[in-house]
Amino acid sequence: MSTRVLLRVSLPDRPGALGAIASRIGAVQGNVIGVEILEQEGNVAVDEIVVALPDESLVGLLVNEILEVDGVAIDEVVLLLPDSPLRSRKNAYERAQRIVAEASIHGLLSRFVEEARDVAHADWTALVSSASGDGGAGGPLILTHGEAPPEPWQDKSRQAIFTGMTKSADGIYEHDGTTWLPAVTDVLALGVHRPGHALTISELDELRAIAKLFRARWAELEPKS
């Protein structure tokens, strides 16, 4: 059965490096159907490559072939669901349309955690609120997409969640495979869990972009006192 796999690859930022990878992909009957440059720093680039394979059993061979290219490292391998959209400007536009089309607070919350999980290829995402009141976001709560483990988040303030975590220069918190964006709105924080591989600059930028849309739509739907 055919399968699609997403590879996050670090490679030398030099002519021919990506072509050498493509040649190795072709050697295992793979077909490159999507490439995105995520980061370029110094002499290293980080690319996402989506490959179609005739059978899932070829994934291991694909990885081994790519690692034969000098200077290449594979940071992550993700098997994509058959209906998973490829990352593109068109998909980003459609994602934005889905967020702003939500007509209720509950629908907006659910849509946001789902889209955030898709952006990051995360195991799970969670929205946490320390607010009180009503309107769909009142009281300490947790709303997740994916199999989030049980946590005592309901018993903590939003500030307490971040206690002991590492805070980056751009205001995010990280701990044990989870990245937290603490200011999605003035009462909500977003957690994105992807163990083993930190979110890339591109992924964080896209998460912040959809958070901005979410925040604007939230302000439109939030009950006025």
Q: What is the pLDDT of residues 55-80, one digit of tens each?
A: 889 999 999 999 999 999 998 888 87
CB count within 10 Å of CB 222 equals: 15
Cross-sheet strand order for the sheet of 188-193: 141-146, 124-129, 188-193, 178-181, 173-175, 166-167
**What are the start and end residues of each CATH 3.30.70.260 domain in the chain?**
3-80
User: Cα separation of 78 and 86, whole Å?
Assistant: 12
Q: How confident is the model at residue 95, as a pLDDT?
A: 85
User: Cα separation of 188 and 82, whole Å?
Assistant: 32
Q: How confident is the model at residue 84, as a pLDDT?
A: 58
Kindly report the pTM of this predicted structure: 0.62
- The secondary element (H helix, E strand) that includes residue 210 is helix 201-221
CATH of domain 3-80: 3.30.70.260
Q: What 3-state DSSP class applies to 129?
A: strand
Q: Which candidate, 41, 40, 57, 48, places its Cα nearest to that of 21? A: 48
User: Cα separation of 74 and 21, whole Å?
Assistant: 11
CATH class of 89-221: alpha beta
Q: Please, which residues bridge with residue 190 across strands?
A: 127, 181
Amino acid at position 28, single letter:
V
DSSP category for residue 82: T
Lowest mean pLDDT among 67-71, 151-155, 170-174, 217-221: 151-155
> In this predicted model, what pLDDT tens digit does every residue of 95-124 receive, in sequence order?
888 999 999 988 999 999 999 998 888 889
- The secondary element (H helix, E strand) that includes residue 9 is strand 3-12
> In this predicted model, what pLDDT tens digit does every residue of 178-214 receive, in sequence order?
888 877 887 788 889 888 777 877 788 889 889 999 9
Handedness of CA 189, 190, 195, 197 (dihedral sign): negative
**What are the start and end residues of each CATH 3.30.450.270 domain in the chain?**
89-221
User: Cα separation of 205 and 203, whole Å?
Assistant: 5
